[in-house]
Every structure is written in structure tokens, then in C-alpha cells.
Homo-oligomer: A and B are copies of this chain.
Amino acid sequence: MSHTVGARQAQKQQSRRALLDAGLHLLADQNLASLGVREVTRAAGLSPAAFYRHFPDLAALGVALVEESLASLHVMIRSVLAGAGGSEELIDRTVDVIERHVREHQPHVRFLARERHGGVRQVREAIDTELGRFAAEVGAALALQPVSRGWSDEDLRMLAELYVDHMVSTAAAFLEAQDADPARERHIAATARLQLRLISLGRRHWQGG
């Protein structure tokens, strides 16, 4: 069997989890590039050498974290696009979901924001690739909406990228405001809604690229 769990595999995965959790925790106020093997293992309650039973590199741990983080992202996008409603309802729902997602997955989101342009190439590329897939998914969903009648694939793609960039910026703004300023959070949400409304207005008046 491929993924049968003996007591063996179970304990190994438990350690792996401990390493990932410890890493994510430490990356709350640190960069992946400045993270140390000893630091992680210490926080995970393991010996330094144990790390190498799970990952060859800290970069590999980073890539594993990217995969985790983006799994939750794809879940999120589906919950936004599922269910219909007018453009206003969709905008409200989008902003709400982003805000909630940032709150509930704060460490993962912070990690993504920090390492998207961070010092570890492997991780940067993993994030970029997955964000591209994300945009493609958004584009496919946009194509199904009636407003997109007559839009070229190219124009749909650029609109999807505009939305994704906006979501990323908004998420980053929420992140900065977390655990600090609840009034500021509401302001960010209000601004994001206005911006989405303006974009959707431009979208309705669009005529060919």
C-alpha cells in the first residue's frame, strides 16, 4: 500500500508536521532565508540531525509550506465564485471571504506575502506558478458570467490578473492591520469594495481590447 499508516509512518508524519508548524510559527517575524535548521528543530522539539530525515534543505521546507498555503487558497476562490448573485453581492462576498481567509490563515498568508519576492528562488517560483494557476481559474469563472459575452481570451486573462493582483494587495493590507486596528480593517474593506465596484463598472463598458 502506498500511504498505509503503520505506527511508524504516523510518528514520522507527526514530526514532519511539528517541523512545518514550528517553521511557520518562526516565519511570523522572520524570513525564510534567515531561518536556521537548528532554530526550527529546537522549536519543534527535535534534534538538529532529525531535520534531514524529512527535508534536504530549508528551501524544501519552504516549498512544502507553499503547497499547504495554496491548497487553502484554492478552497477560498471556489467559495467566492460558487453561488450567483448580482455584482454587488458578489463584491461583498469577495471582500468578506478575503478578510476571513486572512484572519483564519494568517500565518500561511503572511508567509506567502513575505516570500513572494523573498530571497529563496525555489519558493518564489513555486508561489508564482501557483498564483498563475489561480488567475487561470478566476479567468475561467469570469468567462461564465453573462457580462463577459464577446470578450476575447486575452482580455479575460488580463481582467483575471487585475482581480488577482487586487486580491493580493487587499489581503496584504488586511494582514498589516491585523491585531492592531479594527477600524482600519473596516476602512480597508470599504476601500476594496469601492475599487471592485469601479473595476466592474469599467468592465461593463469595455469594448474589445
- Number of interface residues, chain A, beta carbon within 8 A: 40
A169 within 8 A of partner (CB): yes
A165 close to B158 (CB less than 8 A) = no
Among B31, B118, B128, B198, contact of A162 (Cβ-Cβ < 8 Å): B198
Among B168, B169, B201, B209, contact of A205 (Cβ-Cβ < 8 Å): B201
With contacts A166-B165, A209-B194 known, is A30 near B119, CB below 8 A?
Answer: yes
Chain B nearest Cβ from A127, distance in angstroms: 11
A194 close to B114 (CB less than 8 A) = no
Chain B nearest Cβ from A188, distance in angstroms: 10
A195 close to B162 (CB less than 8 A) = yes
A34 within 8 A of partner (CB): yes
A57 within 8 A of partner (CB): no
Question: In chain B, what residue has the closest Cβ to A128?
Answer: B176
For window 132-165 of A, CB contacts with B under 8 Å fall at: 155, 157-159, 161-162, 165
**Chain B residues, CB < 8 A from A202:** 198-203, 205
Question: In chain B, what residue has the closest Cβ to A170?
Answer: B165
Question: In chain B, what residue has the closest Cβ to A30?
Answer: B119
**Chain B residues, CB < 8 A from A176:** 128
Question: In chain B, what residue has the closest Cβ to A34?
Answer: B34
In the complex the two chains form, what is the Cα distance from A172 to B172 in whole Å?
A: 15
A119 close to B31 (CB less than 8 A) = yes
User: Can you list the 3 inter-chain pairs with the closest CB atoms, starting with the nearest?
Assistant: A202-B202, A34-B34, A201-B202
Q: A117-B175, A198-B206 are in contact. List 9 more A-B contacts (CB 8 A).
A: A31-B31, A114-B117, A116-B117, A117-B172, A128-B176, A158-B191, A158-B194, A162-B198, A199-B202
